[in-house]
Amino acid sequence: MIRSLFAMLLIVVVVANWTPTVAFSQEKPPLETKIEGPSGLPIIVRMQGPYDADVPLQIVCYFEKTPTSDTRLFGAPLELDKRLGGVISSLRQRGEFKGDAFETMLITHPEGLIKPRQLLLIGLGSEADLSLARMEAVGRTALREAVRIGAKQVAFAPLIKDAGNDSLPAGDVENAVVRGMLLAYDTEVRLQTHGFATKFRLNAWIVEAGPAYYDETIAGVKNAIDQAKQLIAQRSSGSYSTLSK
């Protein structure tokens, strides 16, 4: 009887001190949808914040600084700046990154603050001038900066909704950005073919979208791919230069 009680007590002690080997706290992979674009470029719509993307380059956008513009920020841009110790808000407050149209600033942060290795800020200019044409130009700027930096995998977040601006649907914004990016990338590939650009291939372009805008962002990206393919097909196949290869 005493031996049986001792055995039961031993089992209770062992169970109480047992630690599961499975890490139940591991984060689930973010929801994503992969779509193939022109030149075989994978475009991935991913439900993820700009601080969590494990990529060489993360791109985010900011409106031109005004006395009240940054007080309306919420969500992703606030969390991004918090993890960076306030570097973005400091640059803004000091007038060193104003957010003028197509202004760029590359930030290389201390290791471990955010998952992207580098962060590129692109200015959107005045909110009053926001348009789909401007966002298409932002897409071109984003691609050309990525090529200049040599980042073969890029994540992009416009952060327009997080700036308190609802003037343009999220799907339309990404339609414009991705179309501009794809057309600029096609030009880059053609220049390489003719010997007027350094060899470079983009492995993936990641479009970050919040849960509320995920489906419409996918639709916008798909439309952008179709539109870009049509426009690329209409482009001249001739050489850019008499000295082309």
Q: Report yes or no on 240 lying in a domain.
A: no
Q: Report yes or no on 12 lying in a domain.
A: no
Q: Report yes or no on 18 lying in a domain.
A: no
Question: What is the predicted pLDDT for the residue at 28?
Answer: 82
Q: Report yes or no on 193 lying in a domain.
A: yes
Question: What is the predicted pLDDT for the residue at 111?
Answer: 93
pTM, full prediction:
0.87
Q: Report yes or no on 98 lying in a domain.
A: yes
Would you list the DSSP string of the chain?
A: -HHHHHHHHHHHHHHHT---SS-TTPPPPPPEEEEE-GGG-EEEEE---TTT--SSEEEEEEEPP-TTGGGG--SHHHHHHHHTTTHHHHHHHTTSS---TT-EEEEEPPTTSSSSSEEEEEEEE-GGG--HHHHHHHHHHHHHHHHHHT-SEEEEE--SGGGT--SS-HHHHHHHHHHHHHHHHHHHHHHHHTTSS------EEEEE--GGGHHHHHHHHHHHHHHHHHHHHTS--S-SSTT--
Q: Report yes or no on 241 lying in a domain.
A: no
Question: What is the predicted pLDDT for the residue at 210?
Answer: 94
Per-residue pLDDT in tens (0 to 9) along the chain, 245 residues: 444 444 443 333 333 333 333 333 347 889 999 999 998 999 999 999 999 999 999 999 999 999 988 899 999 999 999 999 999 999 999 999 999 999 999 999 999 999 999 999 999 999 999 999 999 999 999 999 999 999 999 999 999 999 999 999 999 999 999 999 999 999 999 999 999 999 999 999 999 999 999 999 999 999 999 999 999 999 998 899 988 87
Into how many domains does the chain fold? 1
Domain that holds residue 60: 30-233
For residues 70 and 89, is the Cβ–Cβ distance under 8 A? yes
Q: Report yes or no on 88 lying in a domain.
A: yes
Question: What is the predicted pLDDT for the residue at 245?
Answer: 76
Q: CATH number for the domain including 180?
A: 3.40.220.10
Question: What is the predicted pLDDT for the residue at 2?
Answer: 43
Q: Report yes or no on 148 lying in a domain.
A: yes
